[in-house]
């Protein structure tokens, strides 16, 4: 059965790094939210309010495409923060519509390491977005790890 790889973790937890490693496998397709938003909305995606306004449009556009790739037998690595039950429900709709399997990779490094990575990433300027301490704190308040009731296949 074709696999949809999903990732849950706070900013700088290693989601994109792990996604890139998995996507390097033969035949895997990487779809990275940050790459799409950086190209679609280079000037419009500046704040968390912008994110909340624009991301639903991107989700609506990509869901049928991702489902079609899965139906065609292509493993998809969805580098997208699955950090709320609502976002995970969106992903569930994709793999269920495609009749595909899934695995949710949950990354929870210690906060000190995560914040160190974030500071290094911001200083390097190589990431599509700079995340301030205030934005990181706001995003952390939204973060909800998956519950057993959600029924996701969790990576070991």
What is the distance between the alpha carbons of residues 92 and 94, in angstroms, rounded to a whole number? Answer: 5
Give the list of residues 6+ apart from residue 107 with CB closer than 8 angstroms, or none.
7, 8, 9, 13, 14, 15, 18
pLDDT band at 113 (very low <50, low <70, confident <90, very high): very high
> Smallest Cα–Cα separation from 9: which of 88, 81, 79?
81
Predicted local distance difference test score (pLDDT) of residue 63: 98
Task: Tell me how far apart the alpha carbons of residues 101 and 93 are, in angstroms, rounded to a whole number.
Answer: 12
pLDDT at 137: 82
- For the stretch 32-78, pLDDT in tens is 998 999 899 988 888 888 988 999 999 999 999 999 999 999 999 99
pLDDT surpassing 80 at residue 100: yes
CB 37 within 8 A of CB 54: yes
- Residue 54 near residue 45 (C-beta atoms within 8 A): yes
Q: In this structure, what token pair is assigned to residue 26? A: 């033969």
Residues 6+ positions from 149 with CB-CB distance below 8 Å: none
Mean pLDDT of 106-127: 89
Q: Which domains does the chain have, with CATH numbers?
A: 3-150 (3.40.50.300)
Which of 92-101, 103-112, 123-132 bottoms out in mean pLDDT, i.e. has the lowest?
Answer: 123-132
pLDDT-based confidence at residue 31 (cuts at 50, 70, 90) = very high
């Amino acid at each position: 059965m074709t696999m949809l790889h999903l990732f849950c973790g706070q900013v700088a937890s290693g989601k994109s790094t792990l996604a890139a490693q998995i996507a390097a496998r033969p035949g895997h397709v990487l779809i990275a939210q940050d790459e799409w938003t950086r190209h679609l909305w280079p000037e419009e995606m500046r704040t968390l309010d912008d994110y909340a306004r624009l991301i639903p449009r991107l989700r609506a556009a990509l869901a049928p495409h991702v489902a079609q790739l899965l139906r065609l037998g292509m493993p998809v690595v969805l580098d997208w923060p699955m950090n709320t039950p609502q976002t995970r429900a969106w992903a569930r709709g994709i793999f269920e519509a495609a009749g595909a399997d899934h695995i949710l990779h949950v990354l929870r490094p210690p906060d000190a390491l995560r914040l160190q990575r974030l500071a290094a990433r911001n200083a390097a300027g190589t990431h599509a977005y700079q995340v301030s301490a205030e934005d990181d704190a706001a995003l952390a308040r939204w973060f909800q790890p998956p519950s057993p009731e959600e029924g996701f296949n969790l990576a070991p």
